[in-house]
Amino acid sequence: MLERFKVPANEQVHVAEESLRHTVTTIFERVGLSRTDAMESADVLVTADLRGVESHGVSNMLRGYVKSFGEAF
């Protein structure tokens, strides 16, 4: 990642993986996904973050997916 896109250490927020997975799964369920689909979708976003692919992780993609799922249901 380009240096200009990196979040400075003093501004980073770290969340426990289990807590993040639970929260994202719950959000997806609330917009109409089944439990299984919500868990799989959460896994994709959280795994992207854990691998350092922040462009496709929770902070950058969750809002867009929630909006899209909300419009579809």
* pLDDT for 1: 66
Cβ neighbours of residue 48 under 8 Å, at least 6 residues apart?
A: 54, 56, 57, 58, 61
10 Å CB burial of residue 24 (0-12, 13-18, 19+) is buried
* pLDDT for 72: 73
In the chain, the largest separation of any two C-alpha atoms, in whole Å, equals 39
Instruction: Compute mean pLDDT per 10 residues along the chain, 73 residues long, and list them.
Output: 81 93 97 96 95 87 90 73
* pLDDT for 55: 83
Q: Closest Cα to residue 17, out of 27, 25, 9, 29?
A: 25
Domains of the chain and CATH, by start: 17-72 (1.10.1530.10)
